[in-house]
Amino acid sequence: MVATTTPEPPAFELVRCVAKSFCRPVAEAPVHLWDDTGSGGKPASMWLVNAPQVLWVAVGHSAPRETFWELASDSITFDYTGRPSVHVIHEKSG
């Protein structure tokens, strides 16, 4: 999900995809930002789920339980062979 403060979508070149091997699971619990308690609408809430402050919108008021990811390093460099400075091995899930 990408959220903006204006009705216009963000420029395509501002959105990035990162290989999972450059990431690690987030260790901290999501941070509650907002919920619709008292609004009379369907239950919903917003959460920050990692250090880069990725926004997560959930149905209901409970903290999301998904595995969230963040970059494993503040910077990633590549050597002359193209090998990255970061590579995280992830266990296969059942």
How many domains, in total, are found in the chain?
1
Query: How confident is the model over 11-22, as pLDDT tens digits?
Result: 888 888 888 889
Amino acid 28: pLDDT: 94
Closest C-alpha among 64, 11, 10 to residue 35: 64
Residue 6 is assigned to a structural domain of this protein:
no
Residue type, 86: V
Residue 5 is assigned to a structural domain of this protein:
no
Domain residue limits at 58: 12-86
pLDDT at 32 over 90: yes
Residue 91 is assigned to a structural domain of this protein:
no
